[in-house]
Amino acid sequence: MVALQVCRIMESWLQTASTRSIQLTGLKMALVVGTILNLINQGDSILGGNWELIHWPKLLLTYCVPYCVAVYAGTAARKNS
């Protein structure tokens, strides 16, 4: 019984998180915040063109984190309103 309720809540949450407006906000935030953070963390390698010194997994995760935070925050705000 509890598992079914959790599944319904998760389905509703994922439907809200999948809306176009929340996804676009997440992508915009990831692009802006991720770029700033990557320039702070690896700017010397990126701007210097030293591609072999760039930590690619860190670079990608630096974009994923602000995306996830923005999507979570947008979904939570919409669900609580």
pLDDT band at 6 (very low <50, low <70, confident <90, very high): confident
Q: Is the pLDDT of residue 16 over 90?
A: yes
Structure confidence by residue, pLDDT tens digits, 28-52: 999 999 999 999 999 999 999 899 9
The average pLDDT across 20-27 equals 97
What are the residue ranges spanned by the domains of the chain? Answer: 2-80
CA distances to 13, 19, 29, 32, 80 from 74, in Å: 11, 10, 11, 17, 10
The average pLDDT across 44-69 equals 94
Distance CA 76, CA 81 (A): 9
Q: At what angle do helices 2-17 and 56-80 cross, to 10 degrees?
A: 110
Counting residues of the chain whose pLDDT is more than 70, the rounded percentage is: 100
CA distances to 2, 6, 8, 9, 67 from 75, in Å: 22, 17, 15, 12, 12
